[in-house]
Amino acid sequence: MRRRLARERRRVASMKYRTLGRTGIKVSPLCLGAMMFGEWGNPDHDDSIRIIHRALDAGINFVDTADVYSAGESEVIVGKALAAVDRSRIVLATKVHAPMSDDPNAQGNSRRWIIAECEHSLRRLGTEYIDLYQVHRPDEAVDIDETLGALSDLVHAGKIRSFGSSTFPAEQIVEAQWVAERRGRERFVTEQPPYSILVRGIEGNVLPTAQTYGMGVIPWSPLAGGWLSGRFGAGKDNTSRRATRVPGRYDLDVPANQRKLEIVTELASVASGAGLTMIDLALAFVLEHPAVSAAIIGPRTMEQLESQLGAPDVRLDPAVLDRIDEIVAPGTNVNPEDAGWKHPALDRPWRRRRPRR
C-alpha cells in the first residue's frame, strides 16, 4: 500500500487533469471504462485488476463501469481493485437502467429500481458512496421528475455525490434541466454519449447543449468499438466479441460498415502522415472538442491499455483536423446504428400514423 501511494503521488504531479463540467471535480483526460472486465471481455479477475492498477499508476483517477456489464461482475472486479488503493483519490462512476434479471421491475429509471439498484452497486463495488451515478439510457415509461427525485434523494442521503445521463438526446437533456430547476431537484451534471471520428452526430446538438448547461461530457467508444484501433480492415479478421452482440455495427454486408472500412483506410494514411498511431489520432480527436472532459477507454488487455495511455499528450494540428472533417463531415454518423439509442417512435409504426376509424 505504501509503495502504491508513493506512485500515486508521482503520477498526480505529472498528469494534466481537467474539470468535470462545472462540478469542480478534477479528472484525468482518459477515463478507464470497465465494460471489458468480466464475462463480456476478460474473465480473469486478477488480470483485470492488474490492468486497473496499471491505469491508476499511469495517472488515471477516473473509473467508469455499469451494473449491467457482465451482470454485475465488472463492478465486483472494480471493487476488488479499488480496495487496494486510496479510494478517496478515485472518481468512481457507474450506471443504472438496463435489465438485471427477468424481473420486469429490475430495470429502467423508476424510483423503485434506482434506489434498490444503487444499494446493489454499492455492495458490489465495496464502497460507501459513488461519485457519479449515471442513468444509462432514457426511459419513456417514466416521468423524468420521478427519476430526478430518486437521484436527488440518493445525493442527500450521501449514497452518491452527483449524477448524470448517458446517451440522452439533446431535447431530453434540456427537459431534465428544466424539470430540475422548476421542481427543485438536483440536476444531471454530466452526459456520456457515443463520440468518435465515425460517430459525430452529437456535435450538432448534444455537445452544444451540454456546454450551455455546464455539463461534463465523457464520451464512450472513442475508438468506435475497435474500428479506429486498427483492429479491422482489408485482409483482417473483421470479427470481435462485441460484433457478436451488436452485429448491425460490424456486419460487412451493411453498406455503412463497408464505408467505415474505406474511411479507416483514409484515416490510417492521415495518422501515418502525422507520425501518429490510429489510436492516438482517434483519442486525440475526441479530446480536442472543448465540451469533452474525459474520453472513456475500454481495454480488455494490458497491451490495449498501454497503446492508449499516451493519447492525452497528443495535440492534433489544425490541418489534420481539417482533413478529418473532409473524410467524415462534422455532425455525421457514418452508420446510424452507432448512435447508441433510437427513439422508440422510430421502431413503432403506430406512433407515426393516425388511427383508422
Residue 356 carries which side chain, given as an amino acid letter?
Answer: R
Query: pLDDT for 51-68, tens place per residue?
Result: 999 999 999 999 999 999
What per-residue confidence (pLDDT) applies to 1? Answer: 55
CA angle centred on 293, ends 312 and 207, rounded to 5°: 120
What per-residue confidence (pLDDT) applies to 129? Answer: 98
Region 232-236: mean pLDDT is 65
Give whole-number Cα distances, 29 to 32, 132, 189, 213, 234, in Å: 10, 16, 17, 20, 32
pLDDT at residue 30 is higher than 80:
yes
pLDDT at residue 133 is higher than 70:
yes
Query: pLDDT for 265-301, tens place per residue?
Result: 999 999 999 999 999 999 999 999 999 999 999 999 9
What per-residue confidence (pLDDT) applies to 4? Answer: 53
pLDDT at residue 2 is higher than 80:
no
Type and span of the H or E element at 56:
helix 45-57
pLDDT at residue 6 is higher than 60:
no
Type and span of the H or E element at 164:
strand 160-166
Give pTM, 2 decimals: 0.92
What per-residue confidence (pLDDT) applies to 164? Answer: 98
The band of 350, judged by pLDDT with boundaries at 50, 70 and 90, is: confident
What per-residue confidence (pLDDT) applies to 348? Answer: 78
What per-residue confidence (pLDDT) applies to 233? Answer: 63
What per-residue confidence (pLDDT) applies to 312? Answer: 96
CATH class of 1-192: alpha beta
Query: pLDDT for 210-223, tens place per residue?
Result: 999 999 999 999 99
The band of 105, judged by pLDDT with boundaries at 50, 70 and 90, is: very high
> Is the Cβ–Cβ distance between 31 and 296 less than 8 Å?
yes
How far apart CA 210 and CA 196 sit, in angstroms, is: 17
Residue spans of the domains in the chain: they are 1-192
Catalytic residue among 17, 69, 195, 250: 69
Question: Residues 6 or more apart from 281 whose CB is under 8 A from it?
Answer: 197, 228, 267, 270, 271, 274, 314, 316, 320
What per-residue confidence (pLDDT) applies to 11? Answer: 52
Query: pLDDT for 171-219, tens place per residue?
Result: 999 999 999 999 999 999 999 999 999 999 999 999 999 999 999 999 9
Catalytic residue list contains 133: no
What per-residue confidence (pLDDT) applies to 352? Answer: 80
What per-residue confidence (pLDDT) applies to 308? Answer: 97
